[in-house]
Each structure stands twice: as C-alpha cells, then as structure tokens.
C-alpha cells in the first residue's frame, strides 16, 4: 500500500466537525490507521491534525471539547472483557511491524519536542511485532500467538502514543508561548549583543519584530475563560493518569500542555504519594522527576514526609513557596536546635536559634552564662526562680545522688595530703575521676571557633553547615567519652 503524504491525509478539521464529540471513535480509528505507516513522519501528522485548532467550522471551544473527549476515551475508558487491544474497541489491533521493546516504545514518548514524537511513531508502528497470525495448515510450523499481557502492553503503548500526539496539538498558553519564542531567539540575541552599543536600539527593534513574527506563526493561545471552564475535566484527566504508572508520561504531558499548577490539584498529599511511587520505579523515574519539577510543591511535600526538613526549607526559599509552607523554616531550625542541644553543643545551637532570645533546655545556668556572653539584656531570659531551683535540684539529684560528709574531703596541698589521699584511695573499689577542666575548655574553644566560621557563612536563615555542626557535636561527645 502506498504511504500517504500530508496531502493524502484526510481533512482532520472537517472530520472532527462531523464526529460527535461524545463518541470520537471514528476519529481515533482514522488517526491510528495513519500512524500505522511506519515511514509517515510525525511532523506531517502533527501539521495535519493541527488544523483542528485553526479557525474553521470547529471553533476553539468545540476543538478543545473534542480533544478532551478523545483523551478521556483513550485514557479513562477500559476495554470490555474479551476484546482486543484497544480501549473499549476504540483502537484497532496493533499493526504488525519490526521489533522494538516495550520499554523503548514508552521512553520514545517522553523525549522533548517533535524529535521525540518522531521516535514515538516508530515505536507505535513497531509494538505489534507479535500480532496474532491466521491459523496455519496442518503439518506446518506453529505460529506464536500473543499473550494477554503482551496485548495489554501494546494497547497501553498505542493509547499513550495517540494521547501524546493529541496533547501536542494544544496551543501553548501566553506564558509558555513567550518562553518558546525567547528560547528560539536566544542564540540570535547573544550574537547581536556582541556588536557595538551604537546598534543597540536597532537590535532591540529587530528582536521585537522577530518575536512578533515568531508569535504569528504559532497557534493562538486558547481563551482564558475557555480553559477555566474546562479545568475540572483536565484536572480529572490528570488525576486519573497520575495514579496509574502506565500513564505517568501522559499525566506529565497533560500538566505541561494545560499549565496545571499546585492550586489546581485538590489533594496535594495524594499527588505527592503518587509521585513518590513513580520515583521509586526505574521505568517511571523520568516522568516522576518531570512532575517534581512541574509541581514544586510536591517536592517540598515529599521532603517533609521523609523528615528532610533542611531540604524542604531550602526548597521553599528557592521556589518562593514560603506562603504555602510558612512553618517549614521554623520546624527545620527547631529540629536542628534540639539535635545540637541534645549533644550539648550550645554555642553551635545558638547560631541556629538566630534572632530567638534563648532556647530553654533545662539548663538555666548555661542560659545565663550565654546571655552574658552574647551581651543580651537580662530581661530576655524571663526565668522563673522556682523553675531554676527545680532544675538545679533535679541536676543535683541526677549527678550527685550520694551525700558526702565534710570529713571525707581531703585537701591535697602537700606531701602529707598526698599520702593521706593515697591511703584513702588504696582501699576503694571504684574510683571516679573528674576531668572537666582543660579538656572541656579545649573542646569549647574548638566549638567556639567553628561557631564564628559558621555564623559568617550562614545567612538569610539558611545553614549550609548543619552536617558540620552535628559532626562537631559528635566529636565533643567522643572526647568526653574517652575522658
């Protein structure tokens, strides 16, 4: 059969106008029939189908409604039991063709631009390499038949390829259109900027003319009111696809084509959970990463659920999501302070406290000491004398549980005192040695030097040295243990 060119394709706009939007089966069958020609370039199909959104009998509203109906038929409808590969009988049986792994067929539909789609058509034309053959005559070699799982994989690949092709037809929105034009003109701008300043005004006028020309060649963006009216259908389509790993690539394409953001998703925790499952699977890792970059809120949600508060706090600053996550920064600081305070690295913990007056950790004496060291006014602590006394009593009971009579104290200030101490210790079963002098001073000096370096590098509420501070605290613990 002769391979069709662009001129031999049907009038897709007229066909879409004739087909009932609620039953787009004939249109989808015609699209698949033309995709079965392996040598038919994707650009020809894309240009032919692009006429659906041009000015004509369909109109923007009917075109968008028809496109969404096609996507819903492809991705939401399930084939009845006992049928072939297509969803609800929409698609024909996969065509026979060359050999291509199913994973490659799926990966082809995920690369950017028309080059990606050109490979996707080849993949779609090749997924039917194991289509069922007619029954052979007796005595001839048996023909291998497809397994149900293979037919399901081929059906999913076909549906994904056709859905990807249809999503490519959605005109870019105003913001996306300007980005595409700027990306196309960026090399030209860089070359023009190398010229003298005298030609700067002329270059600017030329760039404006080029941008207008490039914009005029692209399909006009859909009206904002039309997109708003169809938003519920788009969100429902996206939610259904993102929950199925086999449609993860289509879900990403839906979000990109229609410009969905976190405000459109009704259940962000569920979206974060679905994306986490995609990231955990090698075959869906690429669309999972794409969804993370598109929905930046999902990344922060994943970090919080994994108790990675440092990464979550940094993401809220980089992505400008402080309004969506107002407490992440304080939760991160509080977690860091508690962790460092548990290791008694008080000076480092004070840097994480930032502008906070002080952190109460049942150490009223140390709090007063650091208040004087930081030259803070006395009223910042607001310590309750009874609470301070209770802390001191608890500390004494914890570390000095036994009463020590005064006569048991030996002052070693000469040979006689040394001999008395040696005689007293010679009969003791357990000896306790207090090495809290120079060892602790050296440790605190080391911690203090680390604090000054960290406080210089730590700005705008971000601590890049949390790991260093924590490792420093661990070092202090080890030195005390050795002592």
pLDDT for 353: 62
What is the extent of the structural domain holding 348? 342-405+442-475
pLDDT for 41: 64
202 belongs to a structural domain: no
Tokens matching residue 208: 């404006």
366 belongs to a structural domain: yes
Closest by alpha carbon to 188, among 223, 214, 158, 227?
A: 214
Distance CA 60, CA 54 (A): 8
Q: Which long-range contacts (CB under 8 A, 24 or more apart) does 52-59 make?
A: 52/12, 52/13, 52/16, 52/169, 53/169, 53/170, 53/171, 53/219, 54/13, 54/219, 56/13, 56/17, 57/13, 57/14, 57/17, 58/13, 58/16, 58/17
Same domain, residue pair 273 and 382: no
Same domain, residue pair 235 and 97: no
One digit per residue, pLDDT tens: the chain, 483 residues? 444 444 467 777 777 777 777 788 788 888 877 777 655 566 777 777 777 765 554 567 777 888 888 888 888 865 444 344 444 344 544 444 433 333 333 333 333 333 333 333 343 334 344 344 445 555 555 555 557 777 777 777 778 888 888 888 787 654 343 334 344 444 555 555 555 555 666 666 666 665 555 444 455 566 677 777 888 888 888 888 888 888 888 888 888 888 888 778 888 778 888 888 888 888 888 888 888 778 877 778 778 877 888 888 888 887 788 887 888 887 887 788 778 777 777 677 666 665 554 445 556 666 777 677 666 677 766 677 787 778 777 777 776 556 677 777 888 899 998 998 898 888 888 888 777 655 444 444 444 444 443 433 343 444 444 444 444 444 444 443 343
246 belongs to a structural domain: yes
195 belongs to a structural domain: no
Helix axes 346-353, 328-342, angle to 10 degrees: 170
Same domain, residue pair 157 and 272: no
DSSP string, 15-40: HHHHS-TT--HHHHHHHHHHHT-TTS
pLDDT for 80: 40
Q: CA dist 383 to 320, 367, 464, Å?
A: 38, 10, 32
Q: Which residues pair with 462 in a beta bridge?
A: 459
Q: Per the structure, how many domains does the chain have?
A: 3
Same domain, residue pair 112 and 18: yes
397 belongs to a structural domain: yes
CA 96 to chain centre: 39
Same domain, residue pair 160 and 102: yes
pLDDT for 415: 92
| CB contact at 8 A, 360 and 337 | no
Three-class SS of residue 462? strand
pLDDT for 397: 72
Q: CA dist 414 to 47, 220, 420, Å?
A: 103, 98, 10
87 belongs to a structural domain: yes
Distance CA 410, CA 301 (A): 62
Same domain, residue pair 19 and 158: yes
Same domain, residue pair 110 and 167: yes
142 belongs to a structural domain: no
Same domain, residue pair 109 and 29: yes
pLDDT for 137: 53
Q: Which of 255, 282, 306 is the last residue of a domain?
A: 306
Same domain, residue pair 285 and 354: no
Same domain, residue pair 463 and 353: yes
Same domain, residue pair 157 and 279: no
Same domain, residue pair 36 and 159: yes
26 belongs to a structural domain: yes
Three-class SS of residue 152? helix
């Amino acid at each position: 059969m002769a391979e069709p060119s662009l001129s031999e394709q049907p009038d897709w706009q007229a066909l879409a106008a004739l087909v009932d939007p609620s039953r787009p089966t004939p249109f989808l069958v015609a699209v698949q029939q033309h995709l079965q020609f392996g040598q038919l370039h994707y650009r020809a199909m894309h240009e032919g189908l692009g006429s659906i959104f041009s000015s004509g009998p369909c109109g923007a509203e009917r075109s968008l409604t028809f496109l969404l109906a096609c996507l819903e038929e492809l991705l939401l409808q399930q084939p009845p039991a006992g049928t072939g590969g297509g969803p609800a009988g929409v698609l024909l049986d996969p065509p026979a063709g060359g050999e291509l792994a199913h994973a490659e067929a799926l990966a082809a539909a995920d690369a950017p631009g028309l080059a990606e789609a050109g490979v996707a058509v080849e993949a779609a034309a090749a997924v039917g390499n194991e289509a069922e053959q007619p029954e052979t005559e007796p005595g001839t070699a048996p023909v291998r038949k497809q397994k149900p799982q293979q037919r399901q994989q081929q059906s999913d690949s076909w549906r994904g390829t056709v859905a990807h092709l249809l999503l490519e037809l959605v005109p870019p929105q105003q913001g996306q259109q300007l980005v595409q034009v700027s990306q196309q003109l960026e090399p030209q701008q860089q070359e023009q900027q190398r010229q003298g300043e005298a030609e700067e005004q002329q270059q600017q006028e030329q760039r404006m003319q080029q941008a207008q020309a490039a914009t005029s060649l692209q399909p006009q963006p859909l009206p904002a009111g039309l997109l708003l009216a169809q938003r519920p259908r788009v969100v429902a389509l996206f939610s259904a696809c993102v929950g199925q790993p086999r449609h993860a690539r289509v879900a990403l394409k839906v979000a990109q084509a229609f410009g969905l953001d976190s405000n459109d998703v009704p259940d962000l925790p569920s979206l974060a959970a679905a994306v986490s499952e995609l990231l955990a699977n090698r075959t869906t890792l690429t669309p999972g990463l794409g969804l993370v970059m598109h929905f930046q809120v999902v990344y922060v949600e994943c970090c919080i659920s994994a108790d990675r508060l440092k990464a979550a706090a940094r993401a809220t600053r980089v992505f400008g999501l402080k309004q969506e996550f107002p407490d992440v920064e304080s939760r991160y600081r509080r977690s860091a302070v508690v962790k460092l305070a548990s290791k008694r690295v008080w000076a480092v913990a004070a840097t994480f406290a930032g502008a906070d007056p002080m952190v109460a950790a049942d150490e009223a004496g140390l709090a007063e000491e650091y208040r004087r060291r930081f030259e803070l006014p006395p009223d910042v602590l607001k310590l309750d004398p009874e609470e301070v006394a209770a802390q001191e009593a608890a500390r004494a009971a914890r570390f000095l549980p036994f009463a020590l009579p005064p006569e048991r104290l030996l002052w070693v200030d000469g040979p006689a005192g040394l001999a008395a101490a040696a005689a007293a210790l010679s009969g003791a079963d357990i000896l306790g040695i207090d090495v809290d002098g120079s060892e602790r001073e050296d440790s605190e000096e080391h911690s203090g030097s680390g604090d000054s370096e960290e406080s210089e590098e730590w700005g705008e509420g971000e601590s890049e040295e949390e790991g260093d501070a924590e490792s420093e605290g661990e070092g202090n613990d080890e030195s005390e243990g050795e002592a």
